[in-house]
Amino acid sequence: MLRHNPEYADLIKAAIELERKIINTLELDKNPVSLEIRVEEGIDDENQQNNADDEKVQRQIAELELKQRERELDEQDEQNKNEVDEKPKDNTSLSQYSEKEIEYARVWLQVIGDNTIEELYVSQVEEGEPLNPYEEENSALYPDNIVRLSGDYSADGTVYYKIIGDDIIHVYNIPDKWMVGVEGEETMEEFTQNIINNPEEIHLDSMNDEEIEIMINKIVMEN
């Protein structure tokens, strides 16, 4: 029978030895790969954990910086509030008065500068009226509407003016008292026309609201 054949026995042994070698080879090939995979997986897990820790630290730092910035802003707001509270308060407000009332007071204070008068009289001179009401036929006429300001007495002064721009006025040198005729060869018409042609341009300065309010309260409208 074949199983008693020496060649058959040798063949069986060779097959068994080959099978062992194949098994050993497979074991040797599998173990390093498995170890390498486990090592790489361990490294990946550690890197992921480190990244997560870094992100957590960065978020904590950002939150601390944000809280610090908020505290600084709150402190600045409190400081600004204290500075405003420490400033002296101006109880005078001109918002309750009209622009014209403020204008009259400012012009008087700028041109005359006397805030001791008892009353400030305000009247309007209409376009086309003669400068010299006592010699109408020989007098030049006002080319525009003019504002007239005066005090209680002629000695207080009189201002004839018109607004030509922001805080800019033309002041006309109208005599407080008119005399009959004029000196020299100049006619009354030439004299009065020269006044109209050569107004004084004045820029109104900034003024204290309290002084303006005092003058406003003295205004008396005549027409």
Joined tokens for residue 101: 């009332």
Question: Residue 92 falls within a domain, yes or no?
Answer: no
Question: Residue 93 falls within a domain, yes or no?
Answer: no
* pLDDT tier for residue 2 given thresholds of 50, 70 and 90: very low
Question: Residue 91 falls within a domain, yes or no?
Answer: no
Last residue of a domain, one of 58, 86, 114: 86
Do residue 134 and residue 213 come from a single domain? yes
Do residue 68 and residue 137 come from a single domain? no
Question: Residue 67 falls within a domain, yes or no?
Answer: yes
| Tens-digit pLDDT profile for residues 11-54 | 666 667 766 766 666 555 555 555 455 545 555 666 666 677 67
Q: What secondary structure letter does DSSP report for 114?
A: -
Domain count, the chain: 2
Q: Report whether 113 contacts 202 (CB < 8 A).
A: no
Instruction: For helices 209-216 and 99-111, give the axis angle rounded to 10 degrees.
Output: 100
Do residue 196 and residue 131 come from a single domain? yes
Q: What secondary structure letter does DSSP report for 198?
A: S
| Tens-digit pLDDT profile for residues 88-116 | 545 558 899 999 999 999 999 999 998 89
Start-end of H helices in the chain: 6-86, 99-111, 188-197, 209-216
Do residue 106 and residue 211 come from a single domain? yes
68-91: average pLDDT: 68
CA–CA gap between residue 32 and residue 42 (Å, rounded)? 15
Do residue 76 and residue 107 come from a single domain? no
Question: Residue 94 falls within a domain, yes or no?
Answer: no
Last residue of a domain, one of 32, 52, 86: 86
Where in the sequence is the domain holding 13, given as residue range(s)?
A: 2-86
Q: Does position 62 have pLDDT exceeding 80, yes or no? A: no
